[in-house]
């Protein structure tokens, strides 16, 4: 294959070649960054929470006339006992905030009680002795709270401090890098001694810096149903919907007039799907943009190559007449396209990093990993070869006699 001949031929069509190179470069830049964004969205949507989501359902109840704190707490205990009696229920607890919910509770956490000491915002979960088992939380180090360590909401509001705390592994590694957090003291509600480290538990809302998503702490506070939601662990994930119906009937029969509706009963998996619906829509939109750009690029390659084949029928016939095989003609156009695509990809890689820097500056996007570049290049090289294949095969089928007679 004489590359000099190919380059000479391309030099006679500088404008057309330049436009195709720019089209490929633009497609490379957009496709690489779009694939990166899609990957980020998918990774974000699939991040584990540390909760056994398949077996957990949530139930929010609104109280018309809550009554005294003692009456509400007594009703909470009645509800929990009734819910645990449902055949499909494994455990029940009350928690102050739920994953993928609307509420978000957080406190500033530091390693000193000095008001000027640096602090970070950490989400705080509060629940009774059954919360860990209900959510399916796993302890990586230390121990669970002891029965006598749980306090009531009234005690917390009265300023009770010095509570023991269980923190997540991510938070422990941030606060005590390379060291065990068990037995150490953090300052949130006064001085809080770390008694355990959870393998994983995340913030209710997937927002803010990625590294802080796994920062969470758990306090031993027994809450009434009016200050949070019931979380219910089902025995069989396949029967969650049936259990929800049993829960609704049980709660309606369990206490006074309250706002109990199927609209406020959710599986945790459905809450995740609802929370990330915008991310899914964005991912599909980016997939559509990539497909559209690749189709437009392929059509451009097909159109330009078809035009060149029509212009070069005589030259093709001459080459066939002096001994060029159909394979030679096919390889000629494939090599020509490979060179054009390579120029476009080289320029596209520069544009890719430029676009990524722009996104980093304005949308807090992470730096594009280098492996996306060869992936994008491979996609465009394969696309170019497939797009040029049809016109190249038509050129290879031109009979020598017909070609040499053409004007």
User: How many separate domains does the chain show?
Assistant: 2
Range of the structural domain that residue 140 is part of: 53-271
Q: What angle do CA 258, 106, 193 make, to 5 degrees?
A: 110
Instruction: Say whether both 332 and 307 belong to one domain.
Output: yes
Pull the structure tokens for residue 142.
């230390």
Pull the structure tokens for residue 74.
């007594």
Instruction: Say whether both 301 and 330 belong to one domain.
Output: yes
Instruction: Say whether both 198 and 294 belong to one domain.
Output: no
Residue 394 pLDDT level (bands cut at 50, 70, 90): confident
Instruction: Say whether both 60 and 187 belong to one domain.
Output: yes
Q: What's the mean pLDDT in 344-367? A: 83
pLDDT of 43 strictly over 60: yes
Closest alpha carbon to 163 in 178, 151, 181: 151
Instruction: Say whether both 239 and 335 belong to one domain.
Output: no
Q: What's the mean pLDDT in 294-307? A: 87
Residue 239 pLDDT level (bands cut at 50, 70, 90): very high
Strand, coil or helix: 78 = helix
Residue 291 pLDDT level (bands cut at 50, 70, 90): very high
Instruction: Say whether both 284 and 263 belong to one domain.
Output: no
Instruction: Say whether both 194 and 265 belong to one domain.
Output: yes
Strand, coil or helix: 187 = strand
Least confident of 120-129, 213-222, 258-267, 327-336: 327-336
pLDDT of 139 strictly over 70: yes
Which of 271, 298, 329 terminates a domain? The answer is: 271
d(CA 253, CA 95): 22
Instruction: Say whether both 289 and 338 belong to one domain.
Output: yes
| pLDDT at residue 134, rounded to an integer | 95
Instruction: Say whether both 222 and 355 belong to one domain.
Output: no
Strand, coil or helix: 192 = strand
Instruction: Say whether both 250 and 198 belong to one domain.
Output: yes
pTM of this structure? 0.79
Instruction: Say whether both 14 and 82 belong to one domain.
Output: no
| pLDDT at residue 407, rounded to an integer | 46
Instruction: Say whether both 222 and 301 belong to one domain.
Output: no
Question: CB–CB of 274/359 below 8 Å?
Answer: no
Q: What angle do CA 82, 83, 87 make, to 5 degrees?
A: 105
Which of 254, 271, 288 terminates a domain? The answer is: 271
Pull the structure tokens for residue 286.
């980016």
pLDDT of 273 strictly over 60: yes
Q: Which helix (H) or strand (E) holds 331?
A: helix 326-363
Which is higher by pLDDT, 166 or 323? 166
Which of 271, 298, 327 terminates a domain? The answer is: 271
């Amino acid at each position: 294959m004489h590359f000099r001949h190919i380059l000479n031929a391309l030099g006679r069509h500088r404008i057309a070649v330049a436009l195709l190179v720019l089209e490929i470069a633009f497609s490379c830049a957009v496709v690489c960054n779009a694939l990166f964004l899609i990957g980020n969205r998918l990774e974000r949507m699939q991040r584990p929470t540390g909760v056994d989501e398949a077996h957990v359902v949530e139930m929010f109840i609104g109280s018309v006339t809550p009554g005294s704190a003692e009456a509400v707490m007594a009703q909470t205990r009645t509800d929990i006992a009734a819910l645990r009696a449902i055949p499909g229920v494994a455990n029940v607890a009350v928690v102050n905030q739920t994953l993928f919910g609307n509420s978000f509770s957080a406190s500033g956490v530091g390693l000193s009680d000095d008001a000027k000491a640096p602090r970070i915002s950490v989400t705080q979960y509060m629940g009774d002795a059954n919360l860990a088992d209900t959510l399916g939380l796993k302890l990586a180090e230390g121990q669970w709270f002891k029965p006598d360590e749980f306090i009531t909401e009234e005690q917390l509001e009265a300023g009770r401090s010095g509570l023991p705390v269980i923190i997540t592994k991510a938070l422990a590694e941030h606060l005590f890098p390379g060291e065990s957090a068990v037995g150490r003291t953090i300052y949130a509600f006064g001085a809080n001694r770390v008694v355990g480290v959870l393998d994983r538990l995340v913030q209710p809302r997937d927002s803010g810096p990625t590294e802080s998503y796994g920062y969470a702490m758990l306090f031993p506070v027994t809450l009434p149903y009016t200050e949070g939601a019931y979380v219910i662990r089902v025995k069989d994930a396949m029967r969650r919907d049936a259990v929800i119906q049993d829960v609704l009937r049980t709660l309606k029969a369990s206490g006074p007039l309250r706002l109990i509706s199927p609209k406020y009963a959710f599986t945790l998996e459905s809450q995740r799907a609802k929370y990330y619906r915008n991310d899914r829509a964005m991912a599909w939109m980016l997939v559509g943009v990539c497909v559209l750009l690749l189709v437009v690029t392929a059509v451009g390659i097909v159109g330009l190559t078809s035009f060149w084949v029509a212009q070069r029928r005589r030259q093709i016939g001459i080459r066939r007449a002096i001994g060029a095989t159909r394979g030679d003609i096919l390889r000629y156009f494939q090599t020509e396209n490979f060179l054009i695509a390579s120029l476009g990809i080289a320029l596209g890689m520069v544009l890719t990093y430029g676009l990524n820097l722009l996104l980093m500056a304005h949308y807090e996007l992470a730096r594009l990993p280098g492996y996306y570049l060869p992936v994008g290049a491979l996609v465009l090289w394969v696309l170019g070869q497939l797009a040029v294949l049809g016109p190249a095969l038509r050129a290879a089928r031109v009979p020598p006699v017909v070609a040499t007679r053409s004007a």
